Structure 1
C-alpha cells in the first residue's frame, strides 16, 4: 500500500532509463503496466540469466510491474493502447519522438483520449534544438556532459563512469517530473506533457559543481572544482587494501592530527590551517595524505577515523557490499523465490515512508506474462481479447 496506490502507469519504455523510472513508481505503489513489442525489451537478453529473456539487469530494473505484449504497428494494437490510455494516469516512454509520431501516438492524440493523462517523454536532447532527432545512449551523454573530460582534467585518461549513470539519473529526474505533474493535476484537473532530456539533465548536474569561474561573465577561470579534479582524490591505499575517507572541515583535521599524535597540526602548517588554505593546496594535501595512508592497515585507519569522528568507509567490492553489516541490519538485500527464475537477491526500496511503506510487491515479469489479466482488469471482454489475439495485436503466453 505504497504512497502512489491508485496511480496507473503505462510503461512504453525499454532498456534502462525509462524502466528504472517506472520501477521506482511501481515500488512506490503505482500500478505499472509494461507494454512490450513482440520481441520484448532488449535488456532482457543481457546475461547472466537462468532463462532466456530474464537477464539480471532486466530483473533489477523491471520489478513491481506487469507485462503485456502489444504490437503497436497494428491498428488493433494502437486502438487497444488508446483504450488503455483512457483509463490511465501516466504514460512514460523513451521511444524517440519521431517513432511515436509514426505510430500515431502524438501528445495531441493521447491527450484527446485522456485529458488528465500525464505524458512523460524521456528524450536524448531538448526537442527545440538541432540535436532533437539524434539518438542518445548513456556513453554519448556522459561524454557530452563533460564526465570523460573531468577524468582528463584530473590527470587520468578520459573515461566513462563504469555504470549507466546517465540512464539512472535521468530516470530519477523523470520520476520527479511525473510526481510534480500529479500534484499539479490535483489542482487543475488537467494532464500535461513532460519532456526530460538526457543531455541537459546530466549537464545541469555535472556543471553545478564544475561551472566554477565560468559562472561569471567574463569568466574567472576555465571551470572545474579543484577538489574534485585533484589527481589524488581517490580511495587511499593502505598496507593491506584501500579506505575511503574525507577529512573535510577544520574539526575533522584537528581531531585527525590529534589521533596521530600531532596536536600542533594543522595550525603549524599554513597549507592546512583553514578550509580556504587546504582548497588552495588541495593537490599537495591529498598527495601527502595518500602517502601517510600507506603506513597502516585498513582496519587501523578505520578505527582511527572512528575515534576522530572523521567520515570513512571501506572500499567495497560488488561482493563485499552484500556482507556490509549496516546493510545486513537494515535488510537492504533480501532473498526471495521468483516464480520462474528461482532464488534471487534484490535490493530494498531505499526511501522509507512512515505511513505508506514502499516495497516491491511483484518480481520482474516474463515477457507478456500478464497480458490477459491486464486487459481484463482494464475492461476488455474475453471476446475483445480474442479479437486482439487474432489480429496479431496481442501475444499471450502459451498456457501450460
Structure 2
C-alpha cells in the first residue's frame, strides 16, 4: 500500500507556501515522517487567504496534511544547533530558501552531509542554485510569466492571463518528489546521498513540452488561441445553446463521424478540412461552420449525441459541476482529514490509487509548533532541555486559543467539533 511505502524515512521540511510543501505532503502521503520546521511567526503560506480555516489559510491546510509541526528559531545559535542535530539523523531534507541562505545558516548540504553522508538534500528555488538569476525570488505567477507560459494562455484579444491554480508550484512539487524517489533508490544502492537542484523556472519550461518543441522546430511564436490545441482541430470548446463543451474530433474517423452527426456531411469533401493539419490552418472557417450548428442544441443534447458516436467530448465544468461528477467519488480524489476543532476538511487527494489512499488515515496540517515537544523528545532531548528551549523562545509551542470560537468565526464548515484534543501522528 502506497500509504506506508516510505514509513521508514524521516524528512525535515524547511519549506513554505506551495512547491516545497507539495513535495513534502506527497512524501507524507506515502508514509514518510515529515517534520515541518517553521519560524516562530509561522510559514508564509499560513497568511495567504481568503479562504480561511481558523486563523490559517485554506492554502496552508491544503498543502500540509500528514506532517508534524516544529517551531524553531533559526536566528539563534541554539536553533541552528537543534536543526543540525535533527539533520544528522534525517534521511531527507527539503528546503525552499533563497539560494545561499541555508549555507549562511550552516545548514547547507556541504555542511550537513559531512555528518550524514547518506543525506538526500533537495533545494527548491525560483530559478536554480546557480546562474545569473539564482538569487532572484519568484512565486508561481512570476514564473508563469517569465517562462513564457502566460504567453500561450487566453485568447488573442484578452489581457495576459495565467492558470489560476498555482500550477507551476504544484508541478514543481511533483518534480521534486520524483527526483527524491529516484535518489532514494540510488542512495540505497551506492550508500551516498546527493544535493538535488529543483526550481520553478525549469519546471515551468517542462510544462510546455509540446508548445516549446513546436517553437524550436518552426521558430514561430505561438498565438493565444483560447481553448484550442495548436496542433490539432477540432480540439477546442464550442458554445451550445446553454453552455460550453469541449470537443476533440481531429483524427480521421472521428472528424467524419462528427460531420455526420451534426448533419454537415458535405464538410467531409471540403479540401480545407481534409486533414487535422489543414483544419488547423483553416480553423476560423471550421469554427464558423461548426459553431453555428452547436448553438442549435443544448449542451446535454450534444454530449449525448457525440458520446453516442464515440466522439471525445466533455462539458466545460466549473467547480460546482465538478462536485457532481460521478467519477470524482469513484476515484476517491476528494480526500479529507478530520480536524479536532474544524471537523472534516476536504481537499484534493493523492492521485495514484486515489480511492485506496483516500480511505487511509491522514492527519490534518499541524498548528504552529504543535508537535515541538514530542519531535525533540524523539531526537533525544530531555523534557528539562525542551522546557528550557521553550522558555528561551528557541522552540515554539501552540498558543492556547478558543478553537471552537475560531472555527465559528472563520470557517464555514458544518462539521465543527467540540473537542480540541491532540491530533496528528505520534512519533515513536
Pick from 206, 209, 212: which aligns with 1:210?
Answer: 212
Would the aligned equivalents of 1:349 and 1:359 in 2 still touch at CA under 8 Å? no
**Alpha-carbon distance in structure 2 between the residues aligned to 1:179 and 1:357:** 21
**Alpha-carbon distance in structure 2 between the residues aligned to 1:146 and 1:278:** 26
SS in 2 for 1:163: coil
Would the aligned equivalents of 1:22 and 1:32 in 2 still touch at CA under 8 Å? yes
SS in 1 for 2:273: coil
Would the aligned equivalents of 1:150 and 1:158 in 2 still touch at CA under 8 Å? no
Deviation at 1:354, TM superposition (A): 11
- Alpha-carbon deviations, 1:126-161, whole Å to 9, x = none? 333111111111111111111222247844322222
Corresponding residue of 1:89: 91
Corresponding residue of 1:222: 220
* Bigger mean CA offset, 390-399 vs 58-67: 390-399
Deviation at 1:10, TM superposition (A): 0.8
Would the aligned equivalents of 2:235 and 2:246 in 1 still touch at CA under 8 Å? no
Corresponding residue of 2:54: 51
Would the aligned equivalents of 2:333 and 2:355 in 1 still touch at CA under 8 Å? no
| Alpha-carbon RMSD | 2.6
Corresponding residue of 2:174: 172
Structure 1 pair 16/312, CA: closer, same or farther in 2 (3 Å)?
A: same
Whether 1:147 aligns to 2:149 is: yes
Structure 1 pair 17/308, CA: closer, same or farther in 2 (3 Å)?
A: same
SS in 1 for 2:159: coil
**Alpha-carbon distance in structure 1 between the residues aligned to 2:120 and 2:136:** 24
Unaligned 5+ runs, structure 2: 401-419, 421-428
Structure 1 pair 174/50, CA: closer, same or farther in 2 (3 Å)?
A: closer
Corresponding residue of 1:388: 389
Structure 1 pair 102/336, CA: closer, same or farther in 2 (3 Å)?
A: closer
SS in 2 for 1:182: helix
Listed as ranges, the matches of 1:123-142 within 5 Å are 123-142=125-144
* Bigger mean CA offset, 366-375 vs 350-359: 350-359
SS in 2 for 1:64: coil
Deviation at 1:291, TM superposition (A): 3.1
- Alpha-carbon deviations, 1:272-312, whole Å to 9, x = none? 22233223323433443333321110100110121111121
**Alpha-carbon distance in structure 2 between the residues aligned to 1:207 and 1:248:** 20
**Alpha-carbon distance in structure 1 between the residues aligned to 2:105 and 2:317:** 46
Corresponding residue of 2:412: none
Would the aligned equivalents of 2:126 and 2:137 in 1 still touch at CA under 8 Å? yes
**Alpha-carbon distance in structure 1 between the residues aligned to 2:150 and 2:349:** 31
- Alpha-carbon deviations, 1:239-278, whole Å to 9, x = none? 1111122122112112222222444542x11122223322
SS in 2 for 1:78: helix
TM-score by length of 1: 0.90
**Alpha-carbon distance in structure 1 between the residues aligned to 2:337 and 2:178:** 29
**Alpha-carbon distance in structure 2 between the residues aligned to 1:306 and 1:367:** 50
**Alpha-carbon distance in structure 2 between the residues aligned to 1:286 and 1:363:** 48
Would the aligned equivalents of 1:349 and 1:360 in 2 still touch at CA under 8 Å? no
**Alpha-carbon distance in structure 2 between the residues aligned to 1:378 and 1:305:** 61
Corresponding residue of 2:403: none
* Bigger mean CA offset, 116-125 vs 342-351: 342-351
* Bigger mean CA offset, 6-15 vs 223-232: 223-232
TM-score by length of 2: 0.85
- Alpha-carbon deviations, 1:325-370, whole Å to 9, x = none? 1112333225553112223223331111899999562111111111
Listed as ranges, the matches of 1:307-322 within 5 Å are 307-322=308-323
**Alpha-carbon distance in structure 1 between the residues aligned to 2:294 and 2:23:** 40
Listed as ranges, the matches of 1:293-332 within 5 Å are 293-332=294-333
Corresponding residue of 2:66: 64
* Bigger mean CA offset, 142-151 vs 87-96: 142-151
**Alpha-carbon distance in structure 1 between the residues aligned to 2:215 and 2:108:** 42
**Alpha-carbon distance in structure 2 between the residues aligned to 1:142 and 1:177:** 22
**Alpha-carbon distance in structure 2 between the residues aligned to 1:353 and 1:259:** 36
**Alpha-carbon distance in structure 2 between the residues aligned to 1:176 and 1:341:** 33
* Bigger mean CA offset, 301-310 vs 379-388: 379-388
Listed as ranges, the matches of 1:205-284 within 5 Å are 205-206=207-208, 208-215=210-217, 220-224=218-222, 228-229=229-230, 234-266=236-268, 268-284=269-285
Structure 1 pair 221/372, CA: closer, same or farther in 2 (3 Å)?
A: same
